[in-house]
Amino acid sequence: MNRARVFAAALATTFGLALAATPALAQTTQGSTPQDLHPILAGRNITPPLRGEAQIDIVWPPQTRRDKDMVVTKFQVKNVSKDPIARFTIDIPWYGKDGSVVAAGKGFVNGLLQPGEIQTITVETAYNPLMQSNNYLFSHLNGSVKPNKVAKMDAPAKEASAKAPAKK
């Protein structure tokens, strides 16, 4: 009988504290309104990521080599679309003689690939002696990708340096 009374008293105390704390919690969350975020984004020009088909230039053929237990493939890509590309991804499935998938690897740009930006993407795949051929699958967060194969990547235009050359 004593245990039941102690349990009932503890339950009532917990319930009472929860009711008393609810208005206090509600008051603290009222202060965080979307208006508080306005100064953070003020004056910034934010371009939303591309939706639909993205255009990229890719140096072809990619550099593939075996490094111990891994097959490493490096791609150099450039965004030639007018909008940034979100989470640009390259998947490489490897096939055996019978056409079944024996291994696969994935590489991606974490974040946005800005217009005109050049990135190197590395795809690492665990080596399997059954590997015979592979395929390259390009995608991004909001759609498909149309790759344009190029022999080499043009160097991006260099911006003027903030430092002045040293005078002698």
pLDDT tens by residue, 32-75: 555 555 566 667 788 889 999 999 999 999 999 999 999 999 99
| Sign of the dihedral through C-alpha 72, 150, 49, 115 | positive
Read off the pTM. 0.66
* Domain limits, the chain: 54-150
Pick the closest to residue 93 from 67, 68, 126, 69 (CA basis). 126
Query: Which among 49, 63, 78 has a CA at the least distance from the CA of 147?
Result: 78
Q: What is the pLDDT of residues 12-25, one digit of tens each?
A: 777 676 666 666 66
* pLDDT computed for residue 21 by the predictor: 63
Q: Is residue 165 pLDDT above 90, yes or no?
A: no
136-159 confidence digits (pLDDT tens): 999 999 999 999 999 988 765 444
The encoded tokens of residue 35 equal: 């208006």
pLDDT of residue 160: 39
pLDDT classification of 164: cutoffs 50, 70, 90? very low
Q: Does domain 54-150 have CATH number 2.120.10.30?
A: no
